[in-house]
Homo-oligomer: A and B are copies of this chain.
Amino acid sequence: MYDKQTIMLPGPVTIHPRVLSAMSKPMINHRGEEFGQIYDYCVKNLRDIFRTKNDLFLLTGSGTCAMEASLGNLLNSEDKILVIINGKFGERFKEIGERYGELVSLEYEWGRSIDLEDVKAKLDEGDVKAVTLVHNETSAGIINPAPEIGKLAKEKGALFIMDGVSSIGGNDVYADDWDVDIAVFGSQKCLAAPPGLSAISIGKRAWEVIEECKDRPYYTDLLKYRDSASKKPPQTPYTPAVSLFFALEEAIKIFLEEGIEENIERHRKYSDAIRAAITEMGLTMFPQLNGYSHYSNTVNAINLPKGIKEAEVKNKLREKGIIISGGQGRLKDKIFRIGTMGYLSPEDMVNVISALELVLKDLKYDINVGRAVEKANDILFG
């Protein structure tokens, strides 16, 4: 009994038994009709979930693989790219960007809001070919102002590349309305499939730049993906992770049975409950918000109380069967993170809050056990 685990990481997440079961179907021909239909189904429905009419491709690889596909296919070494950073995945775009183009960075402390005036000033320096933004900065639990930055980029004729890995399906995303030229996505986040697949959408303006790009990586060569996808039945240029496609197809079915809006609302409600509970416990959220940024629906980054170590909270929760995350990189021992993505019920939210109360009390933190649960119950079931 005591090996039961509820995964509340910022991805990978707890997976629905229907998805686990779909994954164990016998192997099929990756060049045949049956695979083509699954590929088509995933593409068509992910486009709806991205809210885009752009082309969309699925890659066998993590979200980082799709991030590299975005910049690696776009930039020549002399092209300027504006990378906006307020967390680990913003930094990842920087690390990728400097391998392919000329970097212009706009860096904030992790978890601090982006100031649109700063973005405008950087764009005014001229000649920026593309702007990258991590919509939901998983490392810091903050939602960055994608629509506003998309608009600024468009005004200056720059492409807008958005990492939607941990937002698409869990936070509001309107890729086309926000002028997103390239959006990237990971299977193991809001859609609650296993990790190993990523997706990338490409708009018309982006294709024009991609076609002119002089060199690009091979495994993530988007021209090859476009070519293979146009075959009948559609294919991937290299052998796809067929079993993960079985899983993603089933995860999308489950997602759409609930509905796009309803999924987003669920993530919002779960995070509202966690934030109310956290506040009741006297803890504070990590992100520093301004008028444009928001707390994430999908990842709650919470400041660790003074004198309490990340490992203590994580390990004691793990003993109770709940797997949460600490801080990445420079945020180690400063925050802990509770994800709301995946196959989680409202009761799982109550469970993590209740367990956290006991853990904090055990660690000599001053707390009235039960109060935070009450707050969460009000939101979840009120």
Contact = CB atoms under 8 A, between A and B. Distances in A.
Contacts of A32: 323
A188 interface: yes
Nearest to A61: B61
Say how many copies of this protein the assembly contains.
2
A9 interface: yes
A238 B29 contact: no
A242 interface: yes
A149 B220 CA distance: 30
Interface stretch (A62-70, A106-114, A123-131): A62-70
A150 interface: no
B24 A5 contact: no
* Secondary structure dominating the interface of A: loop
Nearest to A19: B24
B242 A244 contact: no
A59 to B, nearest CB: 8
Interface string A191-211: 000111000000000000000
A41 interface: no
A356 B247 CA distance: 34
Interface string A313-329: 00000000001000000
Nearest to A14: B27
Nearest to A97: B218
A337 to B, nearest CB: 12
Contact of A219 (B220, B237, B243): B220
Given A20-B25, A220-B219, A243 B13 contact: no
Given A20-B26, A27-B12, A196-B243, A64 B99 contact: no
A195 B241 contact: yes
A241 B188 CA distance: 9
Contacts of A61: 60-61, 65, 219, 238
Contacts of A195: 30, 60, 239-243
A246 to B, nearest CB: 10
A218 B96 contact: yes
A215 interface: yes
Interface in A35-77: 60-65, 67-68, 72
A135 B259 CA distance: 49
A360 to B, nearest CB: 21
A217 interface: yes
A243 B194 contact: yes
B60 A11 contact: no
Given A196-B60, A217-B72, A14 B26 contact: yes
A6 to B, nearest CB: 10
Contacts of A190: none
A7 interface: yes
28 contacts: A7-B28, A12-B239, A13-B27, A20-B26, A23-B23, A24-B24, A28-B323, A32-B323, A60-B65, A60-B195, A62-B238, A63-B239, A64-B237, A65-B219, A65-B238, A68-B217, A68-B219, A72-B218, A188-B239, A194-B242, A194-B243, A195-B243, A196-B196, A196-B241, A196-B244, A217-B217, A241-B244, A243-B244
Given A5-B26, A27-B194, 18 more contacts: A7-B26, A12-B28, A12-B239, A14-B27, A15-B26, A24-B24, A28-B323, A61-B61, A61-B238, A64-B218, A64-B219, A68-B217, A68-B218, A72-B217, A96-B218, A99-B217, A195-B242, A243-B247
